[in-house]
Chain A
Amino acid sequence: MQNWINIALPKGRLGEKAYDIFEKIGYGCPSIHEGGRKLIFENEENGVRYFWVKPSDVAVYVERGAADVGVVGKDILLEQSSDVYELLDLGMGKCRMAVAGVKGERPDSEHTLRVATKFPNIAREFYRKQSREIDIIELHGSIEIAPILKMSDVIVDIVETGTTLRENNLEVIETVVPISARFIANKASYKFNNKRIKEMCDLIAQNIEKKDE
């Protein structure tokens, strides 16, 4: 086949689940199960090529056209405000973006709110809508420590089960936005490979609906 469809998948559990869907609808690539450290897999028979990339980079690969389509969390799309088509909500990897603080404590509204987060743009936008003055502290991991050490008043982070929060004596104060995995496409690729991407999209949609029933 001449025209490859390049698919960027996030490394990790979400990406593997997403790959299962692609396999089910006929875009399988057997070599992907071989394991090892390889990052690119192709299947010449159905013209698909998969890349494993860092989850937060998927949207970049798609936006720049290195990948035609990809699977990415809504949190990444919101944070990076990527210029791509968001074609489907895959309904997997469900969690929420939430504000959390030390249990039983509510930050007073007299002071500038100090917010520790990995998602400065989402946090800024959320508080801008509330016209709340904030001080963003950008961190890259173990966000939960910030309010315990009194470095920040609250955190804005992804909450799945809430276990990490509980174990660190934190609790959710409010939800910012629900998050799940999305199927995205590069805007130019969507036009030049319209038939194949649309077909892929329809098949995935059918597959998700079946699961819901």
Chain B
Amino acid sequence: MLRQEGSGIRMKQAEMLLKKEEQVIFSLRALFEQYGYRKFKMSKFEEYDFYADNRSFLNSETILTFTGLDGKLLALKPDVTLSIVKNTKGGRDVSERVYYNENVYRARKGDGEYKEIMQVGLEYIGEVDAYATLEVLLLAQKSLKAISDEYIMDVSHMGFVAGLMEEIGLPYAQQKAILDCISEKNAHGIRAICKEAKLADDMTQKLEALASLYGSLEETLEKAKALCCNEKMEQAVKELENILHCLKIGGNEKNVNLDFSIVNDMDYYTGIIFQGFINGVPSSILSGGRYDNLLRKLGKDADAIGFAVYLDLLERFDSAEREYDVDTLLLYEDGADVAALAQAAQMLTDNGQSVLVQKKNTGNVKYKQLLCMKDRGLEIVAELD
């Protein structure tokens, strides 16, 4: 009976001790395991050339490099997906489900230095059918829920944006400028570029509408339908409709929004893409999508979809300042009975308290109660409530 109580206290302590991001790692790993994803452990670095070849997938210019023992240039991994895809044994007939929990090394904007960023994510590699897509989307949604109830998941489809771009047929530089404007929801910017390119008014309006469209999947999908002007776009809407249908049956359509301003690199991403936000975190915390083209590029015959959660963003999230550093500060004097001191500490911790034993009250420890070990025994000096 006593033992059980002790372990109960320890569980509670574990919950209190673990930081938010550590708790999230814990629950996400459990979640992914439940759905048959297996942990993927990788080495800390890869050959630099591998990343240099796929720079646009990484979406970052900065890679932390160093020279290996044989003189080869190596890089601390800025991304996990690339390594997983490179090493995957998944193919059309055998799909592979993996998840990871790894540090990656990137320079965040404005920091001017590399940072270690903890990422948790999963990849589904194989034949990505409607079920696989739905499963990954639902897992992304569950991951967000595990962090906070106040979440929003934005969904987009690369086919929709790419379809409209094809229809417009502008040269690459202008297309890139328009895509940049779309990602900023910058309708006036689109207008200016289209005017310069002498694009037809109805196309300009469609582009503006695409950039500005935002709202629940259910309400906005109809509006997106009205923008379709080729088969590629219709196909994309159909896929989104199917997802909405399935989400609704499971009662999961809440907090899922349509937003075509999520634009990832078209060379790699092909179908559904999505982003997750948590109220109180200023940028997207989850990002993912379908990236069949990366597999083609690396010579694999399979499709793939996956997402990553950026846990470093949680560091400042709901970090209620700890009221006390320890429950009890236990002071002693020179020549105190060491055995009695250890016993007292043992007694306190057995009761589930935390205790700090030291000679002097240095004033920089916040405690609930202050005890002093005297010759006659323990003495309560101060008690705060």
Chain B residues 166-209 with CB under 8 Å of chain A are: 184-189
Q: State the CA gap A194–B215 with chains docked (Å).
A: 8
A192-B150, A192-B277 given; A187·B283 CB < 8 A? yes
User: Quick one: which of B154, B186, B188, B189 contacts A191, CB cutoff 8 A?
Assistant: B154
A40 interfacial by beta-carbon distance below 8 Å: no
- A189 vs B150: C-alpha distance in the bound complex, in angstroms? 12
Q: CB-CB < 8 A to A189: which residues of B?
A: 282
Inter-chain CA distance A87–B182, complex, in Å, is 11
Determine the distance from Cα of A83 to Cα of B184 in the docked complex, in whole angstroms. 8
Closest Cβ neighbor of A186 among chain B residues? B282
A88 contacts B188, CB within 8 Å?
yes
From A83, A186, A192, A198, contact of B152 by CB (8 A): A192
A42 an interface residue at 8 Å Cβ cutoff? no
- The 8 A-B pairs at the shortest CB distance, nearest first, are namely A65-B282, A89-B188, A86-B186, A85-B185, A86-B184, A191-B152, A188-B277, A192-B279
Chain B: which residue is nearest A80 at the CB level? B110
Known contacts A191-B257, A192-B277, A63 near B184 by CB under 8 Å: no
Interface string of B262-305 (1 = CB under 8 A from A): 00000000000000011101111000000000000000000000
User: Separation in Å of the B284 CB from the closest CB of chain A?
Assistant: 7
Interface size, chain B (Cβ < 8 Å): 21
Q: Is the C-beta of B105 less than 8 angstroms from some C-beta in chain A?
A: no
Known: A63-B282, A187-B283. A194 touches B277 (CB 8 A): no
Closest Cβ neighbor of B279 among chain A residues: A192
Q: Write out the residue numbers on chain B whose beta carbons fall within 8 Å of the beta carbon of A85.
A: 184-186, 261
A188/B284 in contact, CB under 8 A: yes
Task: Give chain A residues whose Cβ lies under 8 Å from the Cβ of B322.
Answer: none
Q: How far is the CB of A97 from chain B (nearest CB, A)?
A: 15
On chain A, the residues within 8 Å of B109 by CB distance are 81, 83
Q: Is A64's CB within 8 Å of the partner chain B?
A: yes
Tell me whether B48 is interfacial, beta carbon within 8 Å.
no
Q: Which residues of B contact A88 (CB under 8 A)?
A: 188
A188 cross-chain contacts in B, Cβ below 8 A: 277-279, 281-284
B257 touches A83 (CB 8 A): no
Residues of A contacting B188 in the complex (Cβ-Cβ under 8 angstroms): 88-89
**Chain B residues, CB < 8 A from A64:** 282
Nearest chain A CB to B71 CB, angstrom units: 32
A191→B279 CA distance, assembly (Å): 9
Give chain A residues whose Cβ lies under 8 Å from the Cβ of B282.
63-65, 186-189
Check B214 for interface membership: any CB of A closer than 8 A.
yes
16 A-B pairs whose Cβ atoms sit less than 8 Å apart in the complex:
A84-B184, A85-B184, A85-B185, A86-B185, A87-B187, A88-B188, A89-B188, A187-B277, A188-B283, A191-B214, A191-B257, A192-B150, A192-B277, A192-B279, A194-B215, A198-B214
Q: Report how far A89 CA is from B152 CA in the complex, Å.
A: 27
Residue of A89, A188, A190 with most chain B CB atoms under a 10 A cut-off = A188
Total contacts A to B, CB within 8 angstroms?
51
| Chain A neighbourhood of B187, CB < 8 A | 87
Q: How far is the CA of A190 from the CA of B185 in the complex (A)?
A: 11
A84 → chain B, closest Cβ, in Å? Answer: 7
Name the CB-closest residue of B to A77. B184
A180 to B376, alpha carbons, bound, how many Å?
A: 78
Q: Which residues of B contact A87 (CB under 8 A)?
A: 185-187
User: In this complex, what residue of B is CB-closest to A74?
Assistant: B189
Residues 37 to 65 of chain A near chain B (Cβ within 8 Å): 63-65
- Nearest B residue (CB) for A81: B109
CB distance from B213 to the nearest CB of A (A): 11
Neighbouring B residues of A190 by C-beta, 8 Å: 185, 214
- Considering the complex, give the chain B residue whose CB is closest to the CB of A64: B282
Q: Which of B214, B261, B282 is packed against the most chain A CB atoms within 10 Å?
A: B282
- B window 230-286: CB within 8 A of A: 257, 261, 277-279, 281-284
87-123 of chain B: CB within 8 A of chain A:
109
Residues of B within 8 A of A86 (CB): 184-186, 189
Give the distance in Å from the alpha carbon of A131 to the alpha carbon of B124 in the complex: 42
Complex: how many Å from CA A64 to CA B283? Answer: 8
Q: In the complex, A85→B214 CA distance in Å?
A: 12
- Of residues 177 through 213 on chain A, the ones whose CB sits less than 8 Å from some CB of chain B are 186-192, 194, 198
Q: A83-B109, A85-B184, A86-B184 are in contact. Are A194 and B284 (CB under 8 A)?
A: no
Q: Which residues of A contact B154 (CB under 8 A)?
A: 191
> Which residues of A have CB within 8 Å of B277?
187-188, 191-192
A41 to B185, CA, bound (A): 29
Partner of A83, one of B186, B189, B278, B283: B283
**A194-B212 Cα distance, complex, nearest whole Å:** 12
Q: Distance (Å) between the CB of B131 and the closest chain A CB? A: 28
Q: How far is the CB of B186 from chain A (nearest CB, A)?
A: 4
- Considering the chains assembled together, what is the distance between the CA atoms of A38 and B325 in angstroms? 36
Chain B's closest residue to A187 (CB) is B283
Interface centre among B152, B188, B215, B278 (most CB of A within 10 A): B188
